[in-house]
Amino acid sequence: MIIIINIKSTFKIIRNNLKNNKIDINQKLLLDRIRTCKDKVRCYPKLEIFKACHLITLDKNILDCDILELFIRMLPEAIGRQIQIYKPQSNQVSWDEKWIISLIEAISRADYDSVYFLVTSNIKKKYRNEVLKFASNAKFYIA
């Protein structure tokens, strides 16, 4: 029973952080990386989810920045719409940016209950398993 209460409280914290624009300095640094990466990959072709999952499972030594690029390139297909990521140095934070930060943080601390919650709350049903597979193979290191 205690485990269920802790999971519910974790989801409540995640939901509150997504609703509010509260981000700390580490999240701000991650947000800057996300925005810079989005600017870099905006001219790249879209990447199919299945191909991204295949690429990440082939190379276990893939760099952190490459994982983020793959993730940002496949995300519009997984969500079913374009993601809103602002330009670097913008003072605004979009809901998509907060969601990505929460997901990366959950992956980096191996909190797969939160990963599952975040994926099922925003990813199209037909792509959830692939995104969860991608998340389980991704290794994000947050300083």
Please identify which residue in the block is written with the tokens 């974790």. 10
Total of domains in the chain: 1
Q: Tell me which residue range forms the domain holding 103.
A: 23-137
Whether residue 32 is contained in a domain is answered as yes
In single-letter form, the type of residue at position 137 comes to N
Whether residue 130 is contained in a domain is answered as yes
Whether residue 13 is contained in a domain is answered as no
**What does the pLDDT look like over 1-53, one tens digit per residue?**
344 445 555 555 555 554 555 678 888 888 998 999 898 888 888 778 788 87
| Furthest CA-CA distance within the chain | 49
Whether residue 29 is contained in a domain is answered as yes
pTM above 0.95, yes or no: no
Whether residue 107 is contained in a domain is answered as yes
Whether residue 99 is contained in a domain is answered as yes
Whether residue 51 is contained in a domain is answered as yes
Whether residue 48 is contained in a domain is answered as yes
